[in-house]
Amino acid sequence: MSPIRNIVILTGAGVSAESGIDTFRDAGGLWEQHRVEDVATPEGFARDPDLVLRFYDMRRAAIQTKQPNAAHRALARLDAEWAGELLIVTQNVDDLHERAGAQRLIHMHGTHLNAWCTGCDTRSPWTAPLLDRPPCPACGAVGHLRPDVVWFGEMPYRMEEIYHAINRADLFVSIGTSGAVYPAAGFVREARAAGARTLELNMEPSQGSHWFDEARHGPATWLVPEWVE
Ligand code: BJW
């Protein structure tokens, strides 16, 4: 087997679950309590912006009370120590990877901690509620701010950089994601086609588990530090 130099790590809600942040599709997850079409599509936002802003205000406030866990810390340590290329691609909109110290990181589904003004197309750091209809800090217009997250039907961020890294990867690792949402769910096949070894670390087999060369099942706070060591 050729030596591993370049690593791409995909993370999902399962990596933050043990920090107390709800996943989407597990029992009791966010999609059991809210209809996806209502809160995570541009059409839902156009129909009832208050509902959507309230949903994200609640989650933004909750995230700020949570702390990185052993899985985030292990990945940050790997990022700091790995001499080859490494990219953590997270689907999560929380900031726990960066609070743990990760630097080579892409938020492909955006972040709760930015507001996006659709009037002037500026993204601003944001921790307060959006439901109050505050003015955009860049252009001053009222009523155009939305959470800077990627909803169904929208294009995930920085896809060219992500595919570039996947196509150079010797190892692709998927952590804490159900493999239900594309394009992220297709990364494992892209990585295989490019010749990478593939590893899944997840509580249970994901929808795409059969695509991985190896799968380990259990909580991320055990599996990830054990894998990184
Ligand atoms: C643990 C654990 C612990 C628990 N330890 N593990 C038909 C076919 C194919 C595609 C489509 C289709 N129809 C429509 C599409 C496209 C659509 C899509 O994929 N739909 C599917 C439902 C089929 N995708 C899109 O629209 C995307 N855009 C797009 O495709 O643009 C065109 C394009 C094409 C080609 C290239 C590029 C672009 C946009 C998707 C946007 C997703 N947005 C959300 C909301 C973000 C904001 C927010 O947070 O509210 O992103 S939805 C939600 O799902 C969120 C997540 O990032 C995403 C993935 O969820 P994740 O992270 O996997 O969480 P869960 O809950 O599903 O899984 C958690 C896992 O962890 C479980 O397996 C647990 O077992 C495990 N776990 N505790 C370890 N302690």
The pairing of strands 122-125 and 110-117 is: antiparallel
Same domain, 16 and 93: yes
Are 211 and 190 in contact by the 8 Å Cβ rule? The answer is no
The residue out of 119, 149, 179 marking a domain boundary is 149
Tell whether 38 is in a known binding site: no
Residue 177, annotated as binding a ligand: yes
For CA atoms 162, 205, 210, 215, give the dihedral sign. Answer: positive
Task: List residues with catalytic annotation.
Answer: 109
Residue 187 sits in a domain whose CATH number is 3.40.50.1220
Please tell me the predicted confidence (pLDDT) of residue 27: 86
Tell whether 140 and 169 lie within a shared domain. no
pLDDT tens-digit series, residues 137-165 = 999 999 999 999 999 999 999 999 999 99
Taking only the tens place, the pLDDT of each residue in 177-221 is 999 999 999 999 999 999 999 999 999 999 999 999 999 999 999
**Token pair listed for 153:** 């039907």
Give the residue from 149, 167, 200 where a domain finishes: 149
**Of the residues 149, 172, 201, which one is the last residue of a structural domain?**
149
Q: Which helix (H) or strand (E) holds 110?
A: strand 110-117
Specify the higher pLDDT residue, 125 or 2: 125
Ligand 1 site, CB within 6 A: 12-14, 17-18, 23-26, 29, 40, 91, 93, 109, 149-156, 159, 176-178, 180-183, 202-204, 206, 219-220
Res 130 pLDDT > 70: yes
ipTM above 0.90, yes or no: yes
Q: Which run of H or E residues covers position 216?
A: strand 214-217
Is the domain of 216 the same as that of 168? yes
Measured in degrees and rounded to the nearest 5, phi and psi for residue 86 equal -150, 140
Q: How far is the CA of 195 from the centre of ligand 1 (A)?
A: 24
Nearest atom of ligand 1 to the alpha carbon of 56: 50
Query: Do 61 and 139 have their domain in common?
Result: yes
Residue among 23, 89, 160, 226 whose CB has most ligand 1 atoms within 8 A, to mutate: 23
For residues 141 and 167, membership in a common domain is answered with: no
Based on the fold, state whether residues 35 and 102 are members of the same structural domain.
no
Structural domain count, the chain? 2
Same domain, 56 and 165: no
Kindly report the pTM of this predicted structure. 0.97
Q: Which atom number of ligand 1 is nearest to the Cα of residue 92?
A: 57
The atom number, within ligand 1, closest to the CA of 220 reads 5
Task: Judge whether 23 is annotated as a binding position.
Answer: yes
The partner residues of 89 in beta bridges, in order of sequence, read 10, 106
Which atom of ligand 1 has the smallest separation from the CA of 11?
A: 62
Residue 182 CA, ligand 1 centroid: distance in Å? 6
Q: Are residues 74 and 186 in the same domain?
A: yes
Whether 1 shows a pLDDT value over 70: the answer reads: no
Confidence of residue 28 (pLDDT cuts 50, 70, 90): confident
**In the numeric block, which tokens belong to residue 186?**
């297709």
Q: Is the pLDDT of residue 11 over 90?
A: yes
Residue nearest to atom 38 of ligand 1 (CA): 155
Same domain for 87 and 57?
no
Instruction: Read off the pLDDT of residues 41-80 as tens digits, 9 standing for 90 and up.
Output: 999 999 999 999 999 999 999 999 999 999 999 999 999 9
Q: Are residues 141 and 229 in the same domain?
A: no
175: which strand partners?
Answer: 11, 201
Instruction: Supply the CATH number for residue 118's domain.
Output: 3.30.1600.10
Give me the domain span that covers residue 115: 22-65+111-149
Which residues pair with residue 216 across a beta bridge? 201
Q: Are residues 16 and 42 in the same domain?
A: no
What is the distance in A from the centroid of ligand 1 to the CA of 85? 25
Verify that 94 and 204 share a domain, yes or no: yes
